[in-house]
Structure 1
Amino acid sequence: MSKAQLNVAIAIVLQQGKVLVGFREAIQHQGNKYEFPGGKVEAGESPSEACRREVFEEVGVDIQAWHDFDFIQHEYEDVIVNLHVFHAILAVELNADIQRPWRWYSRAELGELSFPKANQRLIQRLVWPNAIKISSDLNALTECSHEQLFYWRNDLDEAVQLEALADISVHELNQVIVNTQLYAKLNSIQQANVAAIHLKQQQLMNMHAEDLILGQRYVASCHDELSLQHAQRIGCDAVLLSPVHTTATHPEAKSLGWPRFAELSTAMHIPVFALGGLTPVDLSQAQEHGAYGVAGQRFF
């Protein structure tokens, strides 16, 4: 006998680096666990309409603009749940309208909470490591700790890139970030397992929300306020903001400095990685200026 299928709309609500989370009572399905806002898609409504309605009913705020975030099918013992996941940013001035038990948690805190199994993929996508190593040498991936991601930035011939990645295991790919042009050439298994898709600033500015691939994590390189806001507006997961300091690799680029970096990063609701003349030791200073983490090449 086939199991019943349940369509559920889930909302990932973001604000200043935090995520809105509630707690299920023991009498509810998957009780005594934390949850994102959401609920059953009713007859006659689309998943996005259900998402907006559920957030208004449960949380007390009406968010009209939603981005597609993911689609997850999870099979429990008694039912198959189709999760239609959306994300949006909540304006700070609406915080007073948030009802209990909903409250803000940092992304790092999400990993400490007990969510239903169907939500684990969402947690993995939302919680980023605090460091990204950038290198043109794919062999440098072996030097990365499990607390780092690895952005393979290079100008190699496409065939050479694909041949090199063919020797990388699925487990190792979970740490690797590749540019969108290279991602398009990967096989389906590789595409499903890379850590994130990278967008150069020019690529970013030519993209719209509907161009992002459902379920994939995106990180964009940004150098100014316009590109930062565009990345957030179309639904990117994170950004690399540079250069904080003048670097040997790009001496002609005007550095932001920490005051300007802080001004830009604190206005963002998605993770901002500081890049440019930094080392892992600079993480605390970067976070004091609004960064989620740090990224770099020579000193990582």
Structure 2
Amino acid sequence: MSIKSEQQRVAAQTHIVNVAVAVIHYQEQYLLGFRSAKQHQGNRYEFVGGKIDADETDKQALIREVNEETGINIHDNTIVKLGRLHHDYSDKQVCLQVYKIELTTRQYDQHKYCQYGLEGQALTWADKDEVLAGKYPLPAANQTILTWLRLPSLITVTYALSDFDQHTDPAAAWLAYHRQHLAAQAWVYVRIKAPDSKAITKQLMQLRPDLQMIVPDDFTFDGSMLAESLLDQTASKSALTEPQVVATHLTHGDLMHWYAGAKDTSQKRPPLSSDQPIIVSCHDLDSIYAANQLAAERIQQGLPVVIGMFLSPVLATQTHPDTVPLGWIQWSALAAHADIPVIGLGGLAPDLLQDAKVQGAAAIAGIRQFLQSH
């Protein structure tokens, strides 16, 4: 049975309404509709979309609904899956199939002054920062989407400390290199792979307070661990008390260990971060299913969500030359099973972003090609 047929069978049995959601944007401007007071979840803003008919695929429904509601034809646009969300409103259960679509300049210019949609609903182009800040109240099921939208298109991965072993002081060399070569405001997956990785990471935070850090799940902030030499006038007080951690990271092994505990109630589950979003690493279908379960449980428990999934390796890499890459065809097939945004990792460069989006990637990550040269 196909994935689509299985979704329809489950929906029919449990009275779940399958909905296609189009997160339409042009650069940092996002298109929102407004639900009337008479509608379910009325007097709220919403992303464009609607019910998926029994004879439609998600993307067919998405294209139809966007055209019917706004007159925008997205048939030829790149449609990137963000994820799937289940939500129980008590009076209705919905499953949102969420996709992100960026309009061309021509499409935006044609529709940016339209104040009403073709069904009479008010339309608003809203700045992304204001949407994320909650200026436009959305239905409860949409809150996870806002967290997903914080994920940038490009994520930089650090070198391992062992790559600097030729230096007299590898840690100092690692810090100096990454301080210089990480782009401003970059999201950085800190993968040092060394016993003193926490202390080194915290030193990088002080040297580059503009960075948005993805750190190991067991990472804790303790000002006493910072090198005294860093506690000078260049280190802001806020940086010492509020480190710029945007997500914690679960390795493939950590994820599967958690999943084993989830299946066996006699085992005590490994503790996971409860105050930060999580990014997981996956390499196969089993780990994707584990990530989906973790994502669903955190939403049910009201915890910060799983914001994304590194799926690797896409292509051959210098760091793992003996690992057979998935290749885009297999990578794309695996990514289709994910309920959260998928991040391509392995052998990629920033100029491959658009190609990756066509294959289903919400973002891409890498080391060498993502670090700025000076």
Q: Which range, TM-score by smaller chain?
A: 0.5 to 0.7
Aligned match for 2:349, one of 279, 286, 289: 279
Offset at residue 143 of structure 1 (A): 3.5
Between the aligned partners of 1:16 and 1:179, the Cα distance in structure 2 is 34
CA 1:202 to 1:186, structure 2 compared with 1: closer, same or farther past 3 Å? farther
2:284 corresponds to 1:224? yes
Cα distance, 1:125 vs structure 2: 3.0
TM-superposed deviation, 1:154 = 0.9
Q: Which position in structure 2 is the counterpart of 1:34?
A: 45
Q: Is the CA contact 1:134–1:151 (under 8 Å) kept in the aligned structure 2?
A: yes
Structure 1 distance, partners of 2:325, 2:364, is 16
Query: Shift in Å at residue 193 of structure 1?
Result: 3.5
Paired amino acid for 2:189: Y
Contact 2:186–2:211 (CA<8 Å) still a contact in 1? no
Match of 1:177 in 2: 214
Report the counterpart of residue 161 of structure 1 in structure 2: 198
Contact 1:33 1:114 in 2 (8 A): no
C-alpha distance in 1 between matches for 2:131 and 2:343: 27
**Alpha-carbon distance in structure 2 between the residues aligned to 1:119 and 1:105:** 20
State the TM-score, normalized to the length of structure 1. 0.61
Tell me how far apart the structure 2 counterparts of residues 190 and 278 of structure 1 sit (CA, whole Å): 35
Contact kept in structure 2, 1:132 and 1:295, CA below 8 Å: yes
Aligned AA (1:179): P
1:63-74 aligned at under 5 Å gives the runs none
Structure 1 residues 105 and 262: alpha-carbon distance in aligned structure 2, compared to 1, 3 A threshold = closer
- Work out whether residues 154 and 364 of structure 2, in 8 Å CA contact, stay in contact via their aligned partners in 1: yes
Aligned to 2:336: 266
The separation in 1 between residues aligned to 2:275 and 2:359, in whole angstroms, is 30
Aligned to 1:264, the other structure's residue is in SS state helix
Q: 1:122 to 1:234 in 2, by over 3 A?
A: closer
- Please, which of 278, 295, 300 is the counterpart of residue 365 of structure 2? 295
Counterpart-to-counterpart distance in 2, 1:173 and 1:32: 37
Deviations 1:106-151 (A, max 9, x none): 3989863747359799776322001111113445255344564111
Q: Which of 157, 165, 168 lines up with 1:134 in the alignment?
A: 157
Select the structure that is richer in strand: 1
Tell me if 1:61 matches 2:124. no
1:53–1:129 Cα change, 3 Å:
closer
Identify the residue that residue 100 of structure 2 maps to in structure 1.
106
Q: Which amino acid aligns with 1:153?
A: R
Report the equivalent of 2:245.
194
Secondary structure class of the residue paired with 1:195: strand
Q: Distance in 1 between matches of 2:37 and 2:184?
A: 35
- Once the two structures are superposed, residues 211-231 of structure 1 have per-residue CA deviations (whole angstroms, 9 ceiling, x without a partner) of 443341111111111111111
Aligned-residue CA RMSD (Å): 4.3
Percent identity over the alignment is 28
Change (3 A) 1:144 1:167: closer
Q: Is the 8 A contact 2:185 2:210 kept in 1?
A: no
Which residue, out of 114, 128, 151, partners 2:189? 151
Contact 1:243 1:277 in 2 (8 A): yes
Taking a change above 3 Å as real, the CA distance of residues 118 and 22 of structure 1, as seen in their structure-2 partners, is closer
Q: Indicate conservation of the 8 Å contact 1:15/1:269, yes or no.
A: no
1:253 and 2:275 matched: no
Q: Equivalent of 1:244, from 288, 311, 314?
A: 314
- Counterpart position of 1:205: 256
How far the C-alpha of 1:185 sits from its partner, in A, is 5.6
Which stretch shows the higher mean deviation, 109-118 or 131-140?
A: 109-118
Q: Is the 8 A contact 1:23 1:34 kept in 2?
A: yes
Structure 2 CA distance for partners of 1:122 and 1:239, relative to 1, 3 Å: closer
1:156 deviates by 2.8
Q: C-alpha displacement at 1:161, in angstroms? A: 3.4
Residues 117 and 201 of structure 1: is their aligned pair in 2 closer, same or farther, counting only changes over 3 Å?
same
Q: Which deviations, in whole Å up to 9, do the C-alpha atoms of 1:238-289 show, x marking residues without a partner?
A: 1111111111110111110000001011222211111111100111111111
- CA separation in 2, counterparts of 1:296 and 1:16? 31
Q: Does 1:23 align with 2:34?
A: yes
Alignment: residue pair count? 229
* Greater radius of gyration (CA): 2
Structure 1 residue 199: deviation in Å? 1.0
